[in-house]
Amino acid sequence: MTVDQSAKDKAQRLRTLGTDTVLVLPNAWDAGSAAVMAAAGAPAIATTSGGVAWSLGRGDGEQATRDEMLAAAARIAAAVDVPVTVDVESGYGAAPAEVAKTVAAVVAAGAVGINLEDSRAAGGPLFTPEEQAGRIAAARTAATETGLSELVINARTDVYLFGIGEESGRLDDVLARAAAYAEAGADGIFVPGLLDLAVLTDLADRSPLPVNAMAGPGGPGVAELARAGVRRVSVGTGVAQAAYTAARRATLELLESGTYDSLDDSLDFFQMNGLFSG
């Protein structure tokens, strides 16, 4: 596989954005949402496995196949000029060789980063730190072999998201995983489900990897997360949920009252079409 210099430049840009600044990542689910986000000024875009799966008529949690997910990622990467990082869930196979195959497909799709979970299934159990480290190492080797050694690997751990183990031991578990994942070649540790600012501060102070958080309504804002030491913030399926909620709201208004107020302030046809013209 031949990787051009622009892909290497995008990977390096994504890497720099996640270390020199606090990277705020909107999560896209198709080419249209990605193009809107890039036009709004997003310096990089992440995909959301849940949003992509819903757009395909599937549920989240690897109910869509690797080929389906990566075809969507390719359309997203082709629609924007900014770096794209792909939510590859748990890698579409437990074995390191399957993770390597997924990474090769990510690079072929034009993306320059991944999120890789340590969950075996939604709700757990998790791969052991040693098992997941082996999978991350396979991802790093595959990226190098494809010609994109700069690929950004964001290692997601679901210790807090799924309440794995006793609460008192979860921080130590995450720190042990961060150490193992860093040694295996990860570039960041992503801890969805953790928004306690005191714990995040402790984690950021002690982690060998930059800490990423998943934010949402009712939680800390980006500035608060940044003060806690978080270096990357995303919102998971949040924007996709908001978009589908807008579709539901407009439909209900149309059917129940026959009015169109919910469509006020929408991007107009020419604005949207212009994102894909020329």
pLDDT above 70 covers a percentage of the chain that reads: 100
Flag whether 264 is in a domain: no
Q: Is residue 216 part of a domain?
A: yes
What CATH number corresponds to the domain at position 229? 3.20.20.60
* DSSP letter assigned to residue 266: P
Task: Kindly state whether residue 49 falls inside one of the protein's structural domains.
Answer: yes
C-alpha 140/C-alpha 135 separation (Å) is: 9
In terms of Cα–Cα distance, which of 86, 167, 173 is closest to 126? Answer: 173
For the beta sheet containing 84-87, the strands, ordered from the edge strand earlier in sequence to the opposite edge, are 23-25, 232-234, 211-214, 188-190, 152-156, 113-117, 84-87, 45-47, 27-28
69 token code pair: 């997910």
Decide if 188 is inside a domain: yes
Cα gap 163→119, rounded to integer Å: 12
Tell me how many domains the chain contains.
1
Q: How does pLDDT run across 216-263, given as a tens digit for each residue?
A: 999 999 999 999 999 999 999 999 999 999 999 999 999 999 999 999
Does residue 162 lie in a domain region?
yes
Say if CB 43 and CB 84 are below 8 A apart.
Answer: no
**H helices present in 4-128, as ranges:** 5-20, 31-39, 49-55, 66-79, 96-108
Exposed/middle/buried for 216, CB within 10 Å: 0-12, 13-18, 19+? middle
Phi, psi of 89 (to 5 degrees): 55, -125
pLDDT at 166: 97
Name the nearest CA neighbour of 11 among 213, 198, 216, 152. 152
**Residue 262 placed within a domain:** no
pLDDT band at 20 (very low <50, low <70, confident <90, very high): confident
**pLDDT one-digit tens code per residue, 85-111:** 999 999 999 999 999 999 999 999 999
Q: How many CB atoms lie within 10 A of CB 167?
A: 9
Is pLDDT at 19 greater than 90 in this prediction? no
Q: Supply the pLDDT for residue 5.
A: 95
- The domain of 65 spans 5-236
- pLDDT tens, 157-195? 999 999 999 999 999 999 999 999 999 999 999 999 999
Q: Tell me the three state secondary structure of residue 113.
A: strand
pLDDT at residue 21, rounded to an integer: 82
Query: Do the domain assignments include residue 170?
Result: yes
∠ Cα 164 166 171 (to 5°): 75
Model pLDDT, residue 220: 98
Q: What is the mean pLDDT of the chain?
A: 97
pLDDT of residue 278: 63
Q: How far apart, in Å, are the Cα atoms of 103 and each of 14, 29, 109, 121? A: 17, 19, 10, 20
Q: Are 226 and 182 in contact (CB under 8 A)?
A: no
Q: Is residue 276 part of a domain?
A: no
